Chains A and B, each alone.
Chain A
Amino acid sequence: MQPVFQRPISLKDVATHFCPGCQHGLIHRLVADAMDHFGVQPQTIGVASVGCSVFLYEYFDIDVVEAPHGRAPAVATGVKRARPDNFVFTYQGDGDLAAIGTSEIIHAANRGELFTAIFVNNTTYGMTGGQMAPTSLPGQRTLTSPEGRDVTIDGYPMRMAEVIAALDGAAYSVRVAVNSPKNILAAAKAIKTAFSYQIEKKGFAFVEVLSACPTNWGMSAVQANERVAKEMIPYFALGTFKEKN
């Protein structure tokens, strides 16, 4: 029998600490798959954020720099400028990228830094126990918004892919989801395209991936996956918001 689906070589053969149904593992696989596709694994330097994705140095077979809260784009800027021949990406959650690290990501994108940002949006702070994030949906119950997010007090969920697309320095900005096989294949393609922007020196690329957090949403894995389609995708529209040639 010949294998038709195998673990990417850039992804270490170890168990992850993620909760059942958490799609970080899947997004890790798509990123590793893109590294395999372009053969960049030996020269890749990943920049990890703070949050559930902090342990990516345990899961990817690459070199990783662990950045302080939200500062992954600033660290990646330094890494890429000092070592322009290396392939550099950041992998950040919404509590990291869209809250404490908003300034860093916006300015890195605006400067057109030549690295790739993978942004996992699950509308909550996963690791710290499910507090409200800037991306939490209106009315979403979280640890810090037990009555649901009130937009008159807490503001509106931030659509980061659109925010980044509005900056002249950004070359590619896209939002994808991983809730169905069809969306997963589209996400895999978008991550490869984003990587090609760095390899071909076309500019800064940003991929927002909608993901489920069953534990902090208080749902089963299957229910959480359904919520992505029912509640998240209608607010966070999937699509390519910028594609510079």
Chain B
Amino acid sequence: MAKVVIDEARCKGCALCTLACPKKLIRMSDKLNRQGFLPAVFPAECSRDCTSCALCAQMCPDVAITVFRAEKGEKP
């Protein structure tokens, strides 16, 4: 149980995070962002499967990704 927060306004749609995710949880949006790119999105339902490995955030050239992990005993 974890959460990946992608700053969609800052994402330039390079899609490198989609390759980095071992579970392929990140997909590209079909809606343009303010900069005119198709940003990466982390669907809320993927929270369950995310292990908070943060490889997506490591790979992001624009440091647009923050990763959170549930604390012990925290309910989804």
List chain B residues, Cβ under 8 A from A16: 62
Name 27 interchain pairs, CB-CB below 8 A, sorted by A: A1-B3, A2-B69, A2-B71, A3-B68, A4-B68, A5-B54, A5-B67, A15-B10, A16-B62, A20-B14, A20-B61, A21-B14, A23-B61, A25-B60, A25-B61, A25-B62, A26-B63, A29-B63, A180-B20, A181-B20, A184-B58, A184-B59, A185-B58, A221-B14, A221-B15, A222-B15, A225-B16
Q: How far is the CA of A29 from the CA of B10 in the complex (A)?
A: 15
Residue of B whose beta carbon sits closest to that of A1: B68
Interface size on A, residues (CB 8 A): 30
- Among residues of A, the one whose C-beta sits closest to the C-beta of B37 is A20
B9: nearest chain-A partner, CB-CB:
A15
Cβ A24 vs Cβ B54 within 8 A = no
**Nearest-CB residue, chain A, relative to B67:** A5
A7 to B37, CA, bound (A): 22
Given contacts A2-B69, A4-B69, contact A222 B63 (CB under 8 A): no
Instruction: Give the interface of B toward A (CB within 8 A).
Output: 2-3, 10, 12-16, 19-20, 37, 52, 54-55, 57-63, 65-71, 74
Shortest beta-carbon distance from B50 to chain A in Å = 11
Complex CA–CA separation, A29 to B63 (angstroms): 7
CA distance A221 to B19 in the complex (A): 11
- With A21-B12, A21-B16, A222-B19 as contacts: A1 and B71 at CB distance below 8 Å: yes
Q: B59: which A residues are within 8 A, CB to CB?
A: 26, 180-181, 184
Central interface residue in B63, B66, B74, by most chain A CB within 10 Å = B63
- Chain B residues near A185 (CB, 8 Å)? 58
Which B-chain residue is minimally distant from A2 (CB atoms)?
B71
Q: Which chain A residues border B10 with CB–CB below 8 Å?
A: 15
* Contact status A7-B55, CB under 8 Å: no
A residues engaging B (CB < 8 A)?
Answer: 1-7, 11, 15-16, 18-26, 28-29, 180-181, 184-185, 214, 220-222, 225
Say whether B61 contacts A1, CB under 8 Å.
no
In the complex, the answer to whether A3 meets B74 with C-beta atoms within 8 Å is no
CA–CA, A29 and B60, complex, Å: 10
Q: Which residue of B lies closest to A188 (CB)?
A: B58
Q: How far is the CA of A28 from the CA of B14 in the complex (A)?
A: 17
Contact B58–A181 (Cβ < 8 Å): yes
Cα–Cα, bound, A95→B55 (Å):
30
